[in-house]
Each structure stands twice: as C-alpha cells, then as structure tokens.
C-alpha cells in the first residue's frame, strides 16, 4: 500500500529527494513538494514525467501554515529538506498533527552559529506519547556516516575506540567560488570553532587550525581540516566506548583564499548591519550573490569520497576497518540532475523515509540513524546509487 509524503524544501537536495522518491512509486504513491518559492517546486515537478507531483507555497517558519498544509494533504511522513533553522517549527507541526518526521541536518538557531541535537532530543517524550517517530540527520554526513558506524559495531567490533569521519569533494564545478550546499549553512559551519571528542570530553580548537593530508580512495592525498560535525555528538552518546571521534573535510586552496578575504571584509557575518536605511545580514546578501548549489551539477567533474576510519577491539584483539562511498558528480547529474554533494544527501533521506513508511525503521520517539538496524539500509543503498566498500584491517593513520 503506497504512502503520502510531504517534502519541504526545493533546493539542490530537495530536487534529489523528490526524484528518488518518485522512482519508488510503490512506496511513495503520492508526493507533494512545498517551498517558499513555489516556482522552484513547479519546475522540478514538471520535469518528472511519470508521476504527478503536487506543489505548494509554504513558509516553513510558520507553524500554523505548516499545520494547515499537513491537514490539507494528509501525508504519512513529512520530510524536512528545508533549512536547519526550521527543524523545530516543522517538528512542532508534526507533533500537532500526529505525522512522522525526517530531516537531514540538526537544528541551529538563526542568530548564533551553533548546532547541536539537544533542542531536537528534547522532543523525545512528546513524540513517544503522540505515537509518532522523528528520524534526525538522515543525509550522508550526518546520516549514512552513522549507519556505517552502526554496521561496523554490529558486524566487525566488540568495542569501537577511535573514529575518524573523512569527507572529500574532489570535484571541479568551474566556478571561482561556490558552495555545494546552502552557502549560509556551509560558511557558518566551517567558520565556527572546531571541536572533537577525546577521553570523555570535547576539545575546542580555532576554526580550521588542525589539518593534514588524508589519502582518499580513487582520489589520492587531499589536505583535510578538522571540523565539528553534528553526528559526532550522537555517536559518542550512542557508542560510549569511543575514546576519540573526529570529523575531517577537504577544502581547496582557492576556496580558502576566497573565504579568508570574505571573512576579513565582514561579508560572512551573521550579525545584522544597516545598509541604505534598512537592516541586512551580510551572509544572506552573500548567499544571493553565489551560484545556487543545485545549478552546479551539469558541468561538475570529479567525485566525492566519504567514509569512516575505525579502530577498536574484536575478540580481544585490535582491529581496524574502513568503510566508504565514492560518488561521481557526473553520475549524480545523470541520475537526478544534481551534483554529488546534493545527491549523497538526498538519496539516504529517501531510503530512510522508505524504511520508515514500510515499518522497518519505525518506533515512536526521536532517533538518530545509528539507533536503527543498519542491515536493511546497507542492503539497499547501493541499488539507489550509493554503493559502499569496506577494507578489513587497513593501515590507518591514527595518531594515538
């Protein structure tokens, strides 16, 4: 029996989610795509010939407006592919209407570059009492990265001690400066302090101050920077044997040069300024100047590589393990008219939603992806475009 899904957000990732959901009509029998800009929804819907995608204009900051649309369309699940600022308003609407919820990134307040799961975890009892489920951060990282850790814990380790999530985009989009997902979120994420887990506490470092070359499959060594990423918070909570957890991401020299100049002149700031008699937020103005992430796919060459390097104990012996996916930007464009970063976020979101609607991943409350059984996801994700590879006991460059 097919289900109805309401997808909120029509950017680069929303485009992928709609197309991938529409490719599984036996599960997603009715789809509505909603966004503040209805014309973006209409353009995506018009390009999907084999299914009638409904569209709607929606202000995702407005709880009564979200509630009204949910009551009108009556979805079984709301997929929040909007901005992280809107997680709580959409969760509030789902709570009021008794509808399941999924997102791809954790909440952060608009006026502070700070993201953590505490705000969303606080909904646990209310969602349980209502008999509905929220699945948080079901993209790639967060999302598939945590499922990789859950898979490793279930099949390869008695205890996980050390975890490095390594994320490389070795693609070339031909632009002088562009971000692969929402520019505002992207720049806020990498300009805040870095943070990693070590020996039971969080260590704080200046932004981009720790970096090293990491060797990525099929790509080679790329300079990688230690960032804070939200899945670290839930992984150290759900796998308490972890002694160290870090997240690394690559950035090219040209990207960092542009970013440094923009920081120096203040255009990455989230603090309002007065301009010609009206208040503007510099980073929102910058976002308007930069290319839409969803527009980068057509001319994008190269590939992404995202994986988990893990060290721990199995049967009393030390063990290392590496699990990863490489995604070619051109393959993503051919499959879903997207670049690889949008694609690697949108495909896991579709599969997480599918498993929820099929009742395979379904229990009332608020959960992160590593709290679900990884096996159904791992057995299917390759068929939807993100095959995984593993190496047992590789030599890992841990500095421990």
Per-residue pLDDT, averaged over 86-110, amounts to: 94
Say which residue, 286 or 246, is predicted with more confidence: 246
pLDDT at 195 over 90: yes
For residue 331, pLDDT beyond 60: yes
Establish whether domains 3-136 and 144-337+378-392 are of one fold.
no
Compute the average pLDDT of residues 188-212: 89
* Cα four-point dihedral sign 229, 233, 236, 239: negative
When mean pLDDT is compared across 58-67, 223-232, 293-302, 352-361, the lowest value belongs to: 293-302
* Range name among 175-179, 243-247, 325-329, 381-385 with the lowest pLDDT average: 175-179
Q: Which residues pair with 380 in a beta bridge?
A: none
**pTM exceeds 0.75 for this model:** yes
Taking the C-alpha atoms of residue 161 and residue 39, their distance in angstroms, rounded to an integer, is 49
The CATH number of the structural domain formed by 144-337+378-392 is 3.30.360.10
Q: Can you give the pLDDT at residue 183?
A: 64
pLDDT at 76 exceeding the cut of 60: yes
The helix (H) or strand (E) run that includes residue 36 is none
Distance between CA atoms of residues 145 and 153, nearest Å? 13
Could you state, in order of their start, the residue ranges of all structural domains in the chain? 3-136, 144-337+378-392
Dist. CA 111–CA 92, nearest whole Å: 20
- E strands within the chain? 3-8, 28-35, 54-57, 77-80, 100-103, 133-136, 159-169, 194-198, 201-205, 211-216, 220-227, 244-250, 273-275, 278-280, 303-314, 317-328, 365-368, 389-392
For 249-287, write each residue's pLDDT tens digit.
998 766 766 776 777 778 777 788 888 888 878 777 877
Please determine, for residue 173, whether its predicted confidence score (pLDDT) is greater than 70.
no
Of the CA atoms within 13 Å of residue 233, those in its CB half-sphere come to 21
- Give CA–CA dist 137/45, Å, rounded: 25
In the predicted structure, residue 296 carries a pLDDT above the cut 80: no
**Per-residue pLDDT averaged across 233-247, rounded?**
97
- What is the reported pLDDT for 108? 76
Q: 33: which residues sit within 8 A by CB, 6+ positions away?
A: 7, 10, 14, 18, 41, 44, 45, 53, 54, 55, 56
Average pLDDT value for residue range 360-376: 98
Closest CA to 17 of 344, 388, 315: 344
Question: Token match 């976002």: residue?
Answer: 287
HEC string for 52-88: CCEEEECCCCCHHHHHHHHHHHCCCEEEECCCHHHHH
Q: At residue 400, does pLDDT exceed 50?
A: no
- Residues 327-344 have a mean pLDDT of 94
User: Among 3.20.20.80, 3.40.50.300, 3.30.70.20, 3.40.50.720, what is the CATH number of 3-136?
Assistant: 3.40.50.720
Asked if the bond preceding 142 is cis, omega within 30° of 0, the reply is yes
């Amino acid at each position: 029996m097919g289900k109805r899904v309401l997808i909120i957000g029509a950017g680069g990732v929303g485009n992928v989610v709609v197309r991938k959901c529409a490719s599984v009509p036996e599960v997603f029998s009715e789809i509505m795509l909603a966004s503040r800009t209805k014309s973006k929804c209409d353009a995506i819907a018009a390009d999907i010939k084999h299914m009638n995608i409904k569209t709607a204009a929606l202000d995702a900051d407005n709880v009564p407006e979200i509630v009204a649309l949910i009551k009108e369309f009556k979805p079984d699940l709301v997929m929040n592919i909007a901005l992280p600022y809107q997680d709580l308003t959409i969760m509030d609407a789902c709570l009021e209407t008794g509808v399941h919820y999924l997102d791809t990134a954790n909440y952060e307040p608009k006026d502070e570059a700070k993201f953590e799961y505490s705000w969303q975890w606080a909904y646990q009892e209310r969602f349980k009492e209502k008999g509905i489920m929220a699945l948080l951060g079901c993209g790639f990282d967060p999302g598939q990265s945590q499922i990789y850790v859950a898979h490793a814990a279930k099949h390869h380790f008695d205890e996980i001690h050390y975890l490095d999530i390594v994320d490389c985009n070795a693609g070339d989009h031909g632009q002088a400066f562009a971000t692969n997902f929402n520019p505002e979120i992207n720049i806020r994420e990498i300009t805040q302090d870095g943070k990693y887990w070590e020996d039971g506490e969080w260590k704080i470092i200046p932004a981009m101050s720790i970096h090293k070359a990491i060797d990525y499959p099929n790509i080679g060594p790329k300079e990688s920077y230690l960032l804070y990423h939200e899945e670290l918070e839930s992984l150290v909570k759900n796998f308490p044997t972890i002694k160290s957890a870090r997240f690394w991401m690559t950035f090219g020299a040209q990207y960092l040069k542009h970013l440094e100049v923009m920081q120096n002149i203040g255009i990455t700031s989230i603090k309002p300024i007065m301009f010609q008699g009206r208040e503007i937020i510099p980073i929102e103005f910058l976002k308007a100047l930069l290319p839409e992430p969803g527009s980068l796919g057509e001319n994008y060459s190269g590939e992404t590589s995202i994986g988990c390097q893990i060290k721990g104990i199995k049967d009393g012996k030390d063990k290392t393990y590496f699990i990863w996916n490489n995604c070619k930007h051109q393959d993503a464009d051919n499959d879903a008219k997207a670049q690889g970063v949008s694609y690697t976020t949108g495909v896991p979101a579709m599969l997480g939603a599918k498993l929820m609607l099929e009742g395979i991943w379904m229990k009332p409350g608020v959960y992160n992806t590593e709290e679900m059984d990884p096996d159904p996801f791992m057995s299917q994700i390759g068929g939807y475009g993100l095959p995984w590879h593993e190496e047992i006991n590789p030599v890992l460059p841990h500095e421990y």
